[in-house]
């Protein structure tokens, strides 16, 4: 039996009369690897902003582990177990990989522990760097990493905060083919212990690694299911391709703007 980790009910976000989110209902179960897709302006990033407390909704509810998130501050939501990456990695270029991850791990440490000089590397820090494949680069400045490696570093910085829910905003944008493959494998590995929600535009990446897909359009839930189920949905085909179902090859790739 699945357990709902994130429950969004009748969510509405208005920006000067524009419905960025329009009465959205969405449930993400514990242990899912969920992909969110949709055209530009569908409300994907706005949804992440609401979940993490960056944008207050006009109306509606966002419950995480049964607790209401609406009205809470960003740092409170992080401490409740929600972590997020952004489209542009936010790492400290002048610090080493190890220092970046260790600094993020300090979020869970007590003040005396932060002030005390530590010998060696904390197990949780070492494990996070190994998970994302950056253990060999521990002493390298973050500034010399590739774009893909910086994304992995940011994921490691989330993992040491021990979130139950990871929200990743276009994690493979700008990556090489090899980096995209490694990232997909990483997401599957992370999802074995945590719930992961991925906003993505790369349809090839989606087809390779997505388990369940939610399609948003104009702030509403348009379709949900496996990749094949979503691609076969006539409503999704009409929105993305502007054609009727009879005119569309359901094996053809969907184009996402």
Q: Is 242 exposed, middle or buried (0-12, 13-18, 19+ CB in 10 A)?
A: exposed
pTM: 0.87
Asked if residue 141 has pLDDT above 90, the reply is yes
* Mean pLDDT value of segment 214-230: 94
Computed from CA positions of residues 187, 190, 193, 196, in that sequence, does the dihedral angle turn out positive or negative? negative
* pLDDT higher than 60, residue 34: yes
Mean pLDDT over 90-113 rounds to 81
pLDDT at position 239 is 80
Collapsing DSSP states into helix, strand and coil, what is residue 57? coil
Tokens 């357990």 found at: 3
Written as six digits, the tokens of 105 are: 């791990």
């Amino acid at each position: 039996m699945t357990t709902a980790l994130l429950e969004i009910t009748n969510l509405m976000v208005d920006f000067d009369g524009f419905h960025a989110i329009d009465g959205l209902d969405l449930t993400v179960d514990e242990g899912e690897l969920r992909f969110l897709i949709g055209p530009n302006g569908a409300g994907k990033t706005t949804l992440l902003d609401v979940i993490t407390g960056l944008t207050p909704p006009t109306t509606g509810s966002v419950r995480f582990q049964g607790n209401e998130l609406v009205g809470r501050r960003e740092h409170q939501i992080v401490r409740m177990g929600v972590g997020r990456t952004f489209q542009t990695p936010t790492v400290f270029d002048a610090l080493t990989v190890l220092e970046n991850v260790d600094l993020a791990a300090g979020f869970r440490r007590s003040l005396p522990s932060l002030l005390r000089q530590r010998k060696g590397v904390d197990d949780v820090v070492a494990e996070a760097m190994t998970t994302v494949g950056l253990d060999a680069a521990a002493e390298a400045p973050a500034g010399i990493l590739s774009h893909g490696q910086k994304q992995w570093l940011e994921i490691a910085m989330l993992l040491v905060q021990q979130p139950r829910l990871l929200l990743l905003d276009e994690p493979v944008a700008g990556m090489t083919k090899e980096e995209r493959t490694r990232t997909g494998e990483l997401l599957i590995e992370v999802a074995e212990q945590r719930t992961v929600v991925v906003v993505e535009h790369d349809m090839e990446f989606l087809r390779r690694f997505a388990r369940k897909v939610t399609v948003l359009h104009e702030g509403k839930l348009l379709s949900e299911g496996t990749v094949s189920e979503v691609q076969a949905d006539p409503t999704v085909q009409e929105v993305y391709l502007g054609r009727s179902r009879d005119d569309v090859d359901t094996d053809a790739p969907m184009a996402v703007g």
